[in-house]
Amino acid sequence: MRQLVSGATAVLTQAGVASPQQDALALAEFVLGVDRLVLALPPELPADFGVRYAAVVDRRRRRVPLQHITGVAHFRYLELQVGPGVFVPRPETEIVAGVAIDAAAERAAGDAPVVVDLCSGSGAIALSVAREVPSARVVAVELGEEACAAIAANARRLGLEVRVLRADATAPQTLADLDGAVDVVVTNPPYIPPDAVPVDPEVRDHDPDLALYGGGHDGLDVPRGVLRRALTLLRPGGTFVMEHAEVQAAAVRELARETGELQAIRTGADLTGRDRMLLARRR
């Protein structure tokens, strides 16, 4: 086993995979059907293990996302089932979700908070809010058909109450029944500019374009529309949280100021200390 994992690590390193040893171990665990290889190594490997392991390592060498091979993505306290056509949640978005969860939990002290996740993607944020703030009424809005199906399936599997709406998150009619009644609007919208194609093949070739490119020369067309919709949805004093690219921090703060309807506008950092989210409150 050590030799096989070591060899796989070398193959993935040569292919440019960012975390070769971690992925080599994860793929071995996937093939064996165990959670922790060092704790559950069988006394004798299955006869076909080498062939099956080589097959999945080759897929990863060709930069198929690890999550698409194993079918699983970990996000905060959740294990989500993901696959082709569904945006793979990123670790940095866990901080965005945490801010929304804290805001919802604060509101939950007095009432059942209403939380809307616009451009929900895999539903990782919405499902995390539902898990960590059980009293919350959570709505996930997503345009992608495969993504909506994945959110609903994960909610059922995890036993979480999340309303899933397939719709344009920027359209005025979307969730019109909740206008002025939402406590927290959180979003990780597409925001990549058209000339900033991702370098990593896992993102460029496998994440849906709908979840990546924000439109316009600066990639902020969709975030602008999401911001407008959030202003209508939020109750006075409601919280708005939006992920963005590091280089967009100043521009996004200016968009928030220009509305004249948001206060306490600031930028939040991700796990690496980069400016990655806008935080504000409805006046």
Contact (CB, 8 A) for 72 and 89? no
Mean pLDDT of the chain: 94
How confident is the model at residue 42, as a pLDDT? 62
Residues annotated in the binding site, as ranges? Answer: 142, 188-191
143 and 21 in a common domain: no
For 52-109, write each residue's pLDDT tens digit: 999 999 999 999 999 999 999 999 999 999 988 899 999 999 999 999 999 999 998 7
90 and 29 in a common domain: no
The C-alpha atoms of residue 115 and residue 130 are separated, in whole angstroms, by: 9
171 and 50 in a common domain: no
149 and 28 in a common domain: no
Give every CB contact of residue 275 below 8 A, 6+ residues apart in sequence. Answer: 246, 249, 267, 268, 269
Average pLDDT value for residue range 2-17: 94
Tell me the percentage of the chain whose pLDDT exceeds 70. Answer: 98
The total domain count for the chain is: 2
Q: Strand locations in 109-173, DSSP E?
A: 114-118, 137-142, 162-166
For 24-62, write each residue's pLDDT tens digit: 999 999 998 887 776 556 667 888 999 999 999 999 999
In a domain, residue 209? The reply is yes
How confident is the model at residue 257, as a pLDDT? 97
How confident is the model at residue 113, as a pLDDT? 97
Position 19, amino acid = S
How confident is the model at residue 11, as a pLDDT? 96
Residues annotated in the binding site for substrate, as ranges? Answer: 188-191
114 and 33 in a common domain: no
46 and 176 in a common domain: no
91 and 7 in a common domain: no
Residues annotated in the binding site for S-adenosyl-L-methionine, as ranges? Answer: 142, 188
Question: Which position has the higher pLDDT, 156 or 36?
Answer: 156
How confident is the model at residue 97, as a pLDDT? 97
Coarse DSSP helix, strand, coil percentages of the chain, rounded to the nearest 5 percent: 45, 20, 35
The C-alpha atoms of residue 246 and residue 178 are separated, in whole angstroms, by: 31
In a domain, residue 30? The reply is yes
Determine the structural domain holding residue 235 and report its residue range.
75-80+85-282
190 and 159 in a common domain: yes
